[in-house]
Chain A
Amino acid sequence: MINGYEETWRKRMADYAPEARNTDWDAMRQLLPPKRTGGRWWKAGLLILLIAVAVLMWVTQPSAAIPVTNFPVNGLPTDQHVGKYPASNAPSPAVSRLTPESNRAVFGKLSTSADTSFLAPIPRPAPAEVVRPPALAIAPLPGFSSAEAIISLHASTSLRDRVRQLRIALPAGGKSGTNGYYPPTRIRE
């Protein structure tokens, strides 16, 4: 509960509306943060400019790509394929080089046919030479082939047969020692 004069005070205070002075606004203006100077826009503009320059340089540089020809695709000349998909009405300088009109200007009648004889043969890579590693060459023993040696080794492994073979190989009449045995064998008498 409020007193009578307090109700009067409330009404008078509600009607009280002092105007702002210039000094009040000056003090307020000092508190306000500085107005944006556009620094962010400057940075964004510089970034856009750099991107535009990069794109422009990429577009205007001489293209090393193979020029567009009327190479038939699925049995149809390129012009017919292009006719299915009409190009934009706003040609750009970079794209205009690739339009069919420009191809006709360059290749004349050939550009409307499927004749591709005027084209240079597509370079194909030469088959790679087979490099074989050098084989180890061991000269065979003279007068003794490896096949004969293998056969002789596997024919018989008994000692008697080996001795017999050695006797056969001996020169005829050749005897060493006194008892005619080879190798010389000392016989006790």
Chain B
Amino acid sequence: MTPTSPHDALIKACLRGERRAQEQFYRSYFPKLLPICLRYLGDRDESVGVLNRAMLKIFGALDDYRGEGAFEAWLATIVRNQALSHLRDQAREQRKVVDKNFVWPVSVPNRALDQLAVEDIIKLLDRLPDHLRIVFSLVVFDGYSHAEVATELNITETASRWRLMKSRETLQGYYRAVNPGKENEL
């Protein structure tokens, strides 16, 4: 194993199963990996659960890391795949159902959404249906092309584009709904 991370000693200690080193590793990479789960899952508790399962895989796969690419990117890939797998498992249950009675505003100016804090962004993302939030997160936050999204989710590129467009409309509608007094600011 030839990790490029500066935490080589920490990684070796984790491979030996030292609990203190594992905790240090966990607390070191938690801030960078949890937002990935939050983008796809929204809810923090659910995101932490998925992240912990991903961390369990990481601890078991540290020995397999060959130093190809950045270490954090390797970790992010594992966490992202874990989140997507979690969403696929729950897709049958339709965890988040779109509120049929919700009235979608036509549009919300970008400048209003541009001023949102991260916590508000996550709250808005959490209200998106899974199939929309996944495409939105892959394209906006992870820089996936529609072709890559289509491959990742086993859908067509047209479906990917449609989902991205629908997610944008939905986010604007949510913002309008949760900020009724700010309609004049838009």
List residues of chain A with CB under 8 Å of any chain B CB.
Answer: 2-6, 8-10, 12-13, 15-20, 24-25, 27-29, 31-33, 35-36
Q: Which of A5, A20, A32 has the most CB of B within 10 A?
A: A5
Choose among A2, A12, A18, A35 the residue that contacts B34 (Cβ–Cβ < 8 A): A18
B140 touches A28 (CB 8 A): no
List residues of chain B with CB under 8 Å of any chain A CB.
Answer: 17, 19, 22-23, 26-27, 30-32, 34-35, 39, 48-49, 52-53, 55-56, 59, 110-111, 113-114, 116-118, 121, 139-141, 168
How far, in whole Å, are A137 and B31 apart by their CA atoms in the complex? 114
Residues on the B chain within 8 Å of A32, using CB: 19, 22, 56, 59
Nearest chain A CB to B56 CB, angstrom units:
5
A-B pairs with beta carbons under 8 Å apart, 8 shown: A2-B140, A8-B114, A9-B141, A20-B27, A20-B30, A27-B48, A32-B56, A32-B59
Residues on the A chain within 8 Å of B19, using CB: 29, 32, 35
Nearest chain A CB to B14 CB, angstrom units:
10
Choose among A10, A17, A33 the residue that contacts B141 (Cβ–Cβ < 8 A): A10
Choose among A6, A16, A33 the residue that contacts B140 (Cβ–Cβ < 8 A): A6
A27 touches B110 (CB 8 A): no
B26 touches A13 (CB 8 A): no
A16 touches B118 (CB 8 A): yes
Tell me the nearest residue of chain B to A8, going by C-beta: B114
Given A13-B121, A17-B31, A18-B31, 18 more pairs with CB closer than 8 A: A5-B116, A6-B140, A8-B114, A9-B141, A13-B118, A16-B35, A18-B34, A19-B30, A20-B27, A20-B30, A20-B34, A25-B27, A27-B52, A28-B56, A31-B53, A32-B59, A33-B17, A35-B19
Choose among A3, A18, A19, A31 the residue that contacts B168 (Cβ–Cβ < 8 A): A3
Choose among A2, A6, A24 the residue that contacts B30 (Cβ–Cβ < 8 A): A24
